[in-house]
Amino acid sequence: MKKPKVRELKEAVKGIFSKPYTTEFPYKPHTPSARYRGRPMYNKDVCVGCGACSQVCPAKAIDMFDSFEDGVPVRHLSQHPARCIFCGECERNCITKEGIKLTQQFDIAFFDEKDTVDEVQHNLVVCRSCGEVIGTEKHLRWVSKRIGNLSFAQPLLLTQLMEELQIKTEYEEKVVPPIQRTDMLKVVCPKCRRVALISDEKKGK
Ligand code: SF4
Ligand code: SF4
């Protein structure tokens, strides 16, 4: 019979006295290691609804769509653990760094997939002329804060700021075509702004 090597004997003796690598889950609660990549969850207070997490997700586990129910434009983001590969790209590319985080949650078995979906919603800003989606209110506020006083030079951000301060303006009503140069503060999508500029130039000819 082949005799066991010294190293193997040492391992066997060590194994008798050391703790097992496996845990007793589900009979006893299990605490994963600090670097464990578990279920990603939104932080609803910090997420600004930019949609970057949805765009970078390689497994298409984050759905994003804009709805206009009852005339209220809203952006919906939903994370689906059933499709997630726990790569961490959403967390790494989040513009606020804290909008979505991989948690320690590993026990995500489900009967109905809907029970595991984590959702967040944000109000949208749309162009008052063509209805084009510009971004979420929260995202624009986030940009304003980052660029500071420079936001006063950007009509869209200035309009947002005025709304936030509840300053009533003449720009609140919907733009009636044809778009005029005087509508420059009302129209916020690049296409409509170009139309406003061109129409003004044509008048000058
Ligand atoms: S961890 Fe990876 S796969 Fe899962 S939602 Fe984030 S980006 Fe998508
Ligand atoms: S702020 Fe972060 S979590 Fe929220 S939509 Fe943007 S990338 Fe996703």
Give the residue, by CA position, lying nearest to ligand 2 atom 1.
47
Kindly state the average pLDDT of the residues 22-39.
90
pLDDT at 191 over 90: no
Q: Give the model's pLDDT for residue 134.
A: 86
For ligand 1, whether the C-beta of 94 sits within 6 Å is no
| pLDDT per position as a tens digit, 88-143 | 999 999 999 999 999 999 988 889 988 899 999 999 988 877 888 889 999 999 99
Paired with 76 in beta bridges are: 65, 121
Q: How many CB atoms lie within 10 A of CB 205?
A: 4
> What is the position in ligand 2's atom list of the atom closest to the CA of 49?
5
Query: Residue 151: CB partners within 8 Å, gap ≥ 6?
Result: 143, 144, 157, 158, 161
Angle at 82 (CA atoms; ends 80, 87), nearest 5 degrees: 80
CA dihedral 12, 17, 20, 24 (to 10 degrees): 140
- Residue 183 CA to residue 176 CA, distance in Å, equals 9
pTM (2 decimals)?
A: 0.79
Which residue spans within 6-163 are E strands per DSSP?
A: 40-42, 62-67, 74-79, 100-102, 118-126, 133-136
Q: Give the model's pLDDT for residue 42.
A: 98
Q: Which residue has the higher pLDDT, 202 or 144?
A: 144
Query: Residue 91: CB partners within 8 Å, gap ≥ 6?
Result: 40, 53, 100, 101, 102
DSSP collapsed to 3 states, 79-95: ECCCCCCCCCHHHHHCC
Give yes or no for a contact between 184 and 193, defined as CB atoms under 8 angstroms apart. yes
- Ligand 2 centre distance from Cα of residue 90 (Å): 8
Q: Where exactly does CATH 3.30.70.3270 map onto the chain?
A: 34-126
Ligand 2 probe mutation, 95, 97, 124, most atoms within 8 A of CB? 95
Name the burial class of residue 40, with classes exposed (0-12), middle (13-18) and buried (19+) by CB atoms within 10 angstroms of its CB. buried
| pLDDT per position as a tens digit, 66-85 | 999 888 999 999 999 999 99
DSSP assigned state of 109: -
Paired with 74 in beta bridges are: 67, 123
Does CATH number 3.30.70.3270 belong to domain 34-126? Answer: yes
